[in-house]
Amino acid sequence: MKRLGARGTVDTGDAGLQVVVGPMADAIASDIRAHLASGGGGIDAGPLLDALGGKANVAEVRAAGGRLLVTLRNPDAIDKPRLENVSPRGVAYPARERLHILHAQPETLEAAIAPLLR
């Protein structure tokens, strides 16, 4: 595997998941600890709001189960490619005026976007 460029392995088993990354493990662990200590990092909701067509186009946002539920005033005003680009986990479109932005921390995302909507 090393000859093919692999930097680590992932082992799955009954006890869970183990990622083996070799000599870079300490650096990765330090980066993870620093990120967690900073509160998970700030979320810049500006690009997301722009992709949604601006604050005038957002009627409601609400966090729920790994998603940010968004109700739009004018679904034609969103920039779909840009929205999908700033939403790396994906976007679901359950109805024309509603979309769900998949996110690891939807409550944090909701808190970041709420002040921009005022």
> Does pLDDT of 99 surpass 70?
yes
Contact between residue 86 and residue 51 where contact means Cβ atoms under 8 Å apart: yes
- The mean pLDDT value for 3-18 works out to 68
Between 90 and 29, the higher pLDDT residue: 90
Q: How far apart are CA 118 and CA 48, in angstroms?
A: 15
**Domains of the chain by residue range:** 2-37, 46-117
Q: How far apart are CA 118 and CA 115, in angstroms?
A: 6
Class of domain 46-117: alpha beta
Q: Percent of the chain, pLDDT > 70? A: 80
- pTM as predicted: 0.65
Contact between residue 72 and residue 110 where contact means Cβ atoms under 8 Å apart: no
How high is the pLDDT of residue 27?
Answer: 81
> Does pLDDT of 36 surpass 70?
no
DSSP SS3 for 19: strand
Contact between residue 46 and residue 112 where contact means Cβ atoms under 8 Å apart: no
